């Protein structure tokens, strides 16, 4: 039986970000090729058979990205991005969070199914400069690629742009038994895709580049590296792709339309491998793929592109032949029955620029927009009301859970959407039905993951009720308290304080 090979990007071409009036095309940087930066794995403070402990520090730094002056950057336990954090299913995890930035931040575990709002690390869990916070949680979810990023409303986009984004790898025994490459840094490679504009002296200027529909830059940056190459020393290479960009979609393909196999998505390993030649990654999505370089030889070069722009040059070296074949079935995916007493929850994403909203309103930190019981499954219908001719794709994300995509406009999900997801992108005029269930209680956000959109109010808030503690109370921050803290830290008055998301509220006569 011939394996089906998918050769398109699936999404509506008329809604690609290339159609935006503010689209910033990628331009190859005329600099020497440099080795792809591979973030080191963070060393635990302590580890036992059933527990794990880390210290994670948000810090400033300087990074040699381009020839000449170093770029001022932020990172987690690193000058830029972060060291890769490895979590293990079944282990109780304690994390000591430290803020050594000049301003407050939060530590959001994107893709982890852990209680909110404090452990989850959204806007209600600030850590102030020079201060610390201790959190703990149980890791009880399948092996997957997740990430850690800042999430202080309405400054999330700027802080991620400064560099606060690190890869998180969750391991379990099921994934460990599959015939996948997993030698980190050799044949198991993080690929964090971002884009930047470099201003005078090789510096970034978020305010100068600001666009309410999402900040973009003309220079691709992969793991904090511009114009990188990677030395291929094994026939099969696993790429853990994370779209860590504020706005950009990445339309990925290789030299010669080389086929590759997707084995994982946001929430873990797919039930079956999917063979592709083209892959579009929207904001915050993760895609694990295996690339087989078996038809190439020592001295060849294979390039990973986004549209027509080279991203990574894979330099082929001599390798031992590897004829391992993937099984047709990889893992079983949870598929709980929908509770008949829970009606379909409808979520409407609308607008562009400053006009973005969810359910015709902008986010308020102390407002609970919806409640649902923990442990029960419900259908959510996510609609994008943008115009099909001039609208844009909105990537919809939920904190604290992974969901299952049921349908797109009544049809099957895309072929690589049959695993667990926490981001699903919705075409203009489309509605996507997902199965949602929570295994942990708390307050969680759901929002568009074009980060300027969430800062601009395209976000809502959900309370998941634990039946064993239905009256649990949560202390919720408010926008004014956070903004007053930012103003004090920057030494400006509230009237002088600039944050991109604030403008989206002001245009509608609303206060945050």
Q: Which of 24-28, 357-361, 503-507 has the lowest mean pLDDT?
A: 503-507
Q: Where does the pLDDT of residue 1 fall: very low under 50, low under 70, confident under 90, or very high at 90 and above?
A: very low
Round the average pLDDT of the chain to a whole number and report it. 97
* Among 87, 37, 288, 258, CA closest to 181: 288
- Residue 38 phi, psi dihedral angles, 5° rounding: -110, 110
Dump pLDDT digits (tens) for 252-266.
999 999 999 999 999
**pLDDT beyond 90 at 389:** no
- Report whether CATH 3.40.50.1260 matches the domain 37-176: no
**Which of 147, 118, 146 lies closest to 133, judged by CA?**
118
> What confidence score (pLDDT) does residue 2 get?
58
Architecture of domain 345-473: Sandwich (2.60)
**Do 345-473 and 5-25+179-316 fall under one CATH topology?**
yes
Which contiguous run of DSSP H or E holds residue 75? strand 71-76
Tokens 């635990």 -> residue: 44
Pick the CATH number of 5-25+179-316 from 3.20.20.80, 2.60.40.420, 3.30.413.10, 3.10.20.30: 2.60.40.420
- CA 355 to chain CA centroid, Å, is 23
pTM: 0.97
Cα–Cα distance between 172 and 164 in angstroms, integer? 26
Q: Is the dihedral of CA 132, 137, 141, 143 positive or negative?
A: positive
Burial class (CB in 10 A: 0-12, 13-18, 19+), 242: buried
* Tens digit of each residue's pLDDT (9 = 90 or more) over 120-138: 999 999 999 999 999 999 9
**pLDDT digits 0-9 by tens, 303-313:** 999 999 999 99
DSSP symbol at 40: P
CA 70 from centroid of its chain's CA atoms:
26
Hey, where are the domains in the chain?
5-25+179-316, 37-176, 345-473
With 50 as the cut, is the pLDDT of residue 180 above it?
A: yes
CA 457/CA 452 separation, integer angstroms: 9
The pLDDT tens digits of the residues spanning 452-499 come to 999 999 999 999 999 999 999 999 999 999 999 999 999 999 999 999
Q: Can you spell out the DSSP letters for 350-378?
A: E-SGGG-EETTB---TT---EEEETT--E
Give DSSP secondary structure letters for 129-197: TT-EEEEEEE--S-SEEEEEE---TT-HHHHHHHT-EEEEEEE-HHHHTS-----BTTTEEEEEEEEE-
Structure tokens that stand for 505 in this block: 């509220």
pLDDT at 69: 98
Q: What angle do CA 414, 420, 422 make, to 5 degrees?
A: 90
- pLDDT tens digits for range 18-54: 999 899 999 999 999 999 999 999 999 999 999 999 9
């Amino acid at each position: 039986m011939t394996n089906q090979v998918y050769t398109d990007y699936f999404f509506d071409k008329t809604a690609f970000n290339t159609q935006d009036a503010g689209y910033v095309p990628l331009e190859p940087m005329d600099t020497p090729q440099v080795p792809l930066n591979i973030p080191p794995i963070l060393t635990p403070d302590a580890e036992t058979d059933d527990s794990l402990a880390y210290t994670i520090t948000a810090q400033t730094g300087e990074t040699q990205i381009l020839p000449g002056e170093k770029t001022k950057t932020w990172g987690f336990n690193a000058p830029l991005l972060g060291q890769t954090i490895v979590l293990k299913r079944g282990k109780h995890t304690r994390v000591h969070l430290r803020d050594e930035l000049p301003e407050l931040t939060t530590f959001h575990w994107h893709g982890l199914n852990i209680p909110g709002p404090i452990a989850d690390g959204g806007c209600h869990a600030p850590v102030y400069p020079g201060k610390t916070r201790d959190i703990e949680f149980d890791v009880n979810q399948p092996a997957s690629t997740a990430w850690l990023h800042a999430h202080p409303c309405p400054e999330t986009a700027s802080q991620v742009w400064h560099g606060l984004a690190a890869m998180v790898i969750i391991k379990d025994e099921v994934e460990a038994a599959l015939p996948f490459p997993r030698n980190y840094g050799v044949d198991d490679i993080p690929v964090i895709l971002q884009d930047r504009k470099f201003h005078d002296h090789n510096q970034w200027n978020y305010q100068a580049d600001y666009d309410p529909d999402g900040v973009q830059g003309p220079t691709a940056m992969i793991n904090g590296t511009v114009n990188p190459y990677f030395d291929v020393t094994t026939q099969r290479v696993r790429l853990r792709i994370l779209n860590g960009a504020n706005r950009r979609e990445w339309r990925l393909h290789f030299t010669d339309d080389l086929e590759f196999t997707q084995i994982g998505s946001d929430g873990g390993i797919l039930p079956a491998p999917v063979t592709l030649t083209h892959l579009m990654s929207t904001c915050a999505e993760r895609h694990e793929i295996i690339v087989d370089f078996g038809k190439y030889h020592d001295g060849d070069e294979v390039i990973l592109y986004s549209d027509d722009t080279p991203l990574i040059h894979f330099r082929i070296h001599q390798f031992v032949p590897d004829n391992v074949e993937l099984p047709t079935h990889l893992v079983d995916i949870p598929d709980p029955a929908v509770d008949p007493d829970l009606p379909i929850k409808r979520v409407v994403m609308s607008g562009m620029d400053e006009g973005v909203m969810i359910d015709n309103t902008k986010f308020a930190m102390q407002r609970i927009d919806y409640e649902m019981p923990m442990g029960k499954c419900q259908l959510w219908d996510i609609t994008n009301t943008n115009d099909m001719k001039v609208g844009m794709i909105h990537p919809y994300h939920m904190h604290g859970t992974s969901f299952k995509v049921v349908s797109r406009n009544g049809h099957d999900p895309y072929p690589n959407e049959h695993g667990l997801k926490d981001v699903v992108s919705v075409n203009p005029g489309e509605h996507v039905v997902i199965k949602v269930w929570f295994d942990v209680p708390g307050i969680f956000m759901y929002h568009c993951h074009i980060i300027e959109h969430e800062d601009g109010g395209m976000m809502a808030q959900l309370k998941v009720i634990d039946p064993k503690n239905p009256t649990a109370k949560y202390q919720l921050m408010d926008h004014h308290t956070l903004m007053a803290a930012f103003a004090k830290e920057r030494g400006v008055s509230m009237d002088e304080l600039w944050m991109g998301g604030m403008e989206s509220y002001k245009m509608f006569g609303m206060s945050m």
